[in-house]
Amino acid sequence: MNDTPANRYTKLLVLGAAAIVLVTLLAYLPAIHATYIWDDDSYVTENTLLHDFDGLRRIWIPRETPQYYPMVFSTFWVEYQLWELNPMGYHIVNILLHAFSSLLLWLVMVRLRVPGAWLIAAVFALHPICVESVAWITERKNVLSLFFYLIAAIAYLKFDALRFGGPGHAISPPEQRAQPWGWYGLALIAFMLALFSKTVTCSLPAALILVMLWQRSPITLKRLAPLAPMFMIGFALAMITVFIERAHVGAEGEEFAYSFVERCMIAARSLLFYPWKIIWPAELMFIYPRWKISASDAVNYIPIAIVLLIGAALVELYRRGWRGPFVALSFYAGTVFPAIGFFNVYPHLFSFVADHFVYHASIGVIAFVIGGTAYFIRKPVALRLIGAVILPVLFMLTYMQSTIYYNEETVWRDTIAKNPDAWMPRNNLASRLLEQAESALLSGNIDHSRELAAEALEHASEALRVREHHHTAHSNKSEALRLLGDYEAAIHSIEQAITHAGHLPDYHWQKSRLHQLLEQFDEAVDAMSEAVERAPESVYYRLEYARILSVAGRLEQAAEQFEAVLEIQPNNFMALGSLAGIAQQRGNDVRARLLYTQAIDVARTIEEQLQIVTRLIRLLATSTDPNVRDFDEAINLAEQVAALSQRQDPSALAMLASVYLNAGRPDDAVAVAEEAIILARSRGMHELAMQIEQQLEVFRSEQ
């Protein structure tokens, strides 16, 4: 191939694109191996809508998902079919979307003839403020919506240029006037896909007007008319998001009760916060300190004054012909506007600012800084030197920031280290530590369990220091105290949780468990009754309630609860087996036999079957009711149980021996008991061997 200028230019384009993709993948290498964090459970790991075709249909129905972003959940659905819950696949898709969006950004900057276009795209690709959006699977919302947003922008710019002229395009002749509308259709479809990914992209039509100002294009009604449908669609879907944030996600209440003036204070401070973090990306964190805002504090008016002064300066610069600063920073402000305080968004409960809020809007600040620098230095060599300095620094910062998102615990620990008063990370870390402590306890590592519980107690207590009425933190504190053995203090903490959120049945269940540990069964019954009252359809709570009633000796009430379970789940194994036991205690052996048989039929495991079969065998062999007693059936079942272990289970053999004795076969009983004793001793089961020996004496006395 001839080395023509066109070929050299093509090679440079390919190399430039490959460089952006490659360095992005390398910078986010730690994120590729990361797991899930925070609300990835409701979006992916516990989202049953991803499992079947009906779920794919329901994804497109409002309020079926945590937020109405059906394109996001549709991509998750496809990925679940490919690699189920392997987090690596989801992370790789996020990273590739970010890299491809960076390439599209380069194309947009070139089309708009912004100086330093490639460097702008490279800085965006490697900027650490984007890590939260890229390394957090839930923030597929950001990376996917920007991808479609930029496609829509490119298509609309092509459409506009063909109709009205523009850089590199003359106005189409009359016979070709229909051709641009294909580009408009593409722009409209891509815009809707962006909105279905995240409605912050509703600002696109306003951004396109800013582009027209940048290009000094005449702003006429005819030119603006194609944007009208985009404004209307964007507004409609944005309002759905606002409604869901309030009604479904929970972005309402006292924590969001700010006056208009106070919201202006939050907005102004937010607008000043992000550019500084973009220019100097130090101390980035998952949860930033939440500002204290009050209209009575004069200091809070300073950011408003600064923003107004900057706005006035930008307008004056634009009036004098300096369009770049006005367009770039107006794009930034307009794009981040939905998240700066005028609308309730749930994360404002923890902090008014977040890195993922500024993912799209950061483009305006980056373009302003890099484009402005390129405009003034005007020397490609100097611009390359600047890139050679800042890009490696950004690469390393992004690489290190990506390591923070390895798992939920690393995110919370990093946040606490940078923002010790952040109550949410402390409480969530406490929850995580309690899970580990419970696992350690079950595995027999008591000392490690206590260490983890002690640390969980510390974090839950710190969370309560900042947010004293947080019911989940009280619950976590109670659980930590339980694992540390301080049951009385644990009851006090769970009562605090109930005071603030008594409608949650789980807290009453926790209280009941603590009273059981203290052998206060009447109090345990009362607490469990409260749990059942608040969740009457919960099979788990009713079974637990029935069990405690049984322990407390209230068999009549226990039976009522087991019967209620069977009304909800007619084939519930636990309820059938327990009711059979109660019926047997009452002397109703006929019903007991029937219920045992039903329980065997619905048993899910061999262990469950053996448990019930053993009880049925004893009933058949010992019942005083001739309509129930059936030695032949008891022997048959007992021999089957012994055969399942190839006669290698001494307990099964001991039971078979007892059945033989009850059936009037003492010689067989003695022989099997002796066999069981030898087997128990060979396996070191000396206590069982002694018990069988005592039975053997009885057996021999019957010979």
Residue 104 located in a structural domain: yes
From 384, 404, 424, give the residue that closes a domain: 404
pLDDT at 166: 59
pLDDT at 157: 94
pLDDT at 622: 86
CB contact at 8 A, 355 and 304: no
Q: How far, in Å, CA of 497 to CA of 505, rounded?
A: 11
Tell me the percentage of the chain whose pLDDT exceeds 70. 96
Residue 166: strand, helix, or coil: strand
Residue 451 has pLDDT above 50, yes or no: yes
Task: For residues 436-460, give the mean pLDDT.
Answer: 95
Residue 81 located in a structural domain: yes
Rg (CA), the chain: 34
Instruction: Identify each DSSP E strand in 191-326 by its residue range.
Output: none
pLDDT at 173: 56
CB atoms within 10 A of CB 170: 9
Task: For residues 83-104, give the mean pLDDT.
Answer: 97
Closest CA to 143 of 84, 100, 86: 100
From 348, 379, 404, give the residue that closes a domain: 404
Task: For residues 540-563, give the mean pLDDT.
Answer: 92
Residue 366 identity (one-letter amino acid): I
Residue 659 lies in domain: 630-703
Model confidence at 153, pLDDT cuts 50, 70, 90, reads very high
Residue 33: strand, helix, or coil: coil
Tell me the percentage of the chain whose pLDDT exceeds 90. 68
pLDDT at 174: 54
Closest CA to 637 of 605, 673, 596: 596
Task: For residues 224-243, give the mean pLDDT.
Answer: 91
Residue 685 identity (one-letter amino acid): M
Enclosing H/E stretch for 523: helix 521-534
pLDDT at 676: 87
Model confidence at 687, pLDDT cuts 50, 70, 90, reads confident
Q: How far, in Å, CA of 285 to CA of 629, rounded?
A: 71
pLDDT at 585: 87
Residue 91 located in a structural domain: yes
Residues in CB range of 610: below 8 A, 6 or more apart:
641, 644
Model confidence at 250, pLDDT cuts 50, 70, 90, reads low
Q: How far, in Å, CA of 120 to CA of 115, rounded?
A: 9
Residue 327 has pLDDT above 70, yes or no: yes
Residue 562 located in a structural domain: no
From 377, 404, 431, give the residue that closes a domain: 404
pLDDT at 378: 81
- For 377-390, give one letter per residue: b (16+ CB within 10 A) or e: eeeeeebeebbeeb
Residue 34 located in a structural domain: yes
pLDDT at 168: 46
Task: For residues 611-636, give the mean pLDDT.
Answer: 86
Closest CA to 94 of 50, 55, 48, 37: 37
pLDDT at 525: 95
Task: For residues 382-404, give the mean pLDDT.
Answer: 96
Task: For residues 42-54, give the mean pLDDT.
Answer: 94
CA distances from 655 to 346, 664, 689 (A): 61, 14, 13
Q: What are the pLDDT digits (tens) for 17-36?
A: 999 999 999 999 999 999 99
Residues in CB range of 672: below 8 A, 6 or more apart:
653, 654, 656, 657, 660
Residue 411 has pLDDT above 90, yes or no: yes
Model confidence at 253, pLDDT cuts 50, 70, 90, reads low
Q: How far, in Å, CA of 337 to CA of 350, rounded?
A: 18
Task: For residues 218-234, give the mean pLDDT.
Answer: 92
Closest CA to 136 of 343, 359, 422, 351: 359
Closest CA to 546 of 656, 411, 538, 380: 538
Q: How far, in Å, CA of 230 to CA of 68, rounded?
A: 18
Q: What are the pLDDT digits (tens) for 576-620?
A: 999 999 998 888 999 999 998 898 888 888 778 778 888 888 888
CA distances from 385 to 106, 379, 391 (A): 19, 10, 10
Which residues face 169 on adjacent strands?
Answer: 166
Residue 384 located in a structural domain: yes
Give the domain CATH number at 694.
1.25.40.10
| pTM for this model (two decimals) | 0.85
How many domains, the chain?
2
Which residue reads 């290698």 in tokens? Answer: 648
Least confident of 88-102, 173-187, 486-500: 173-187
What average pLDDT does the structure give for the chain? 91
pLDDT at 684: 87
One-letter-per-residue 3-state SS of 639-695? HHHHHHCCCCCHHHHHHHHHHHHHCCCHHHHHHHHHHHHHHHHHCCCHHHHHHHHHH
Closest CA to 660 of 686, 683, 642: 642
Q: How far, in Å, CA of 596 to CA of 586, rounded?
A: 15
pLDDT at 187: 96
CB atoms within 10 A of CB 366: 26
Residue 422 located in a structural domain: no
Residue 340 located in a structural domain: yes
